Amino acid sequence: MRGDWLGRGLAGLTVALVLAACGGVDRPATGGDGSVPPRDAGSVRTDAGPPFDAGPARDAGSTSTDAGMTVPVDAGPTPTACREPAAAGLCGTRGIVRLLAQLPAGALPATGTLMANMNHFRLGSATTGGVPHITGARGPTVTLAPGGAAEIQFDLCTAGEMWSEENCEFSSLVWVDTNGNSTVDPGEPAGRVTMDVNCHVTTQPCTPVTLGCTTGASCAVFTDPGVCACGTSCADVGGAGRIVTCS
């Protein structure tokens, strides 16, 4: 009898210890009506957060690899003045003519060889551009955008020393030879300027020429101004033997 009582006591003590140990398990609480409240989601974030920052907008002027996109080419700054003479000519640096050809803002772009003719302004032949002195002076190959400019230099003394003090003004025609035939043709931008070449200076001034004519040979034509009255002779500079044509 005593053994049965002791066995039932030990069994009860074991059940009590098991129930006490299970009391640490997290179980949902129940309400007074026996229902179970919703589970707390805790600190889990459910919003999408701030929008993705893609960074600054792309610079439209940068080089693009997108197919079909044309990126303008920066041709560099437009010159506003001539360079110094690249080399001394037959009459020294004073014989180097420097012309700055400028394409008007509203003109079409042009690519070709920059060329020049230099004719006498007061010796007749005005209807054909004047009496030739330098024909077909060749400058650099250029690509002129509207508003752009490029320079041509040539030695006037390759055709003999003829200064404005003895032969008066010169008429210079400058054009972009787009087809390579060394002749100003309709459609090629050209311009004419009346200028002096002074034998008493060491460097001729930089003369601008606007290439605003596209009618071809007529771009060189002018109205004959008649005979000239020359200034101070250049005989003391270059010696005798030059052609003096003024009256």
pLDDT at 75 over 50: no
**CB environment 185-201: b (16+ within 10 A), e (fewer):** eeebbbbbbebebbbee
Q: How far are the Cα atoms of 67, 69, 78 from residue 63, in angstroms, in the given order?
A: 12, 10, 22
CA dihedral 6, 8, 14, 18 (to 10 degrees): -160
Residues 6 or more apart whose CB falls under 8 angstroms from that of 70 comprise none
Q: What is the pLDDT of residue 244?
A: 58
Q: Which residue has the tokens 């600190």?
A: 43
Domains delineated in the chain = 93-238 (2.60.40)
Q: What is the pLDDT of residue 227?
A: 74
196-236 pLDDT, tens per residue?
Answer: 999 889 999 999 999 999 999 999 999 998 877 666 667 65
**pLDDT greater at residue 144 or residue 242:** 144
Q: What is the pTM of this model?
A: 0.66
pLDDT at 60 over 50: no
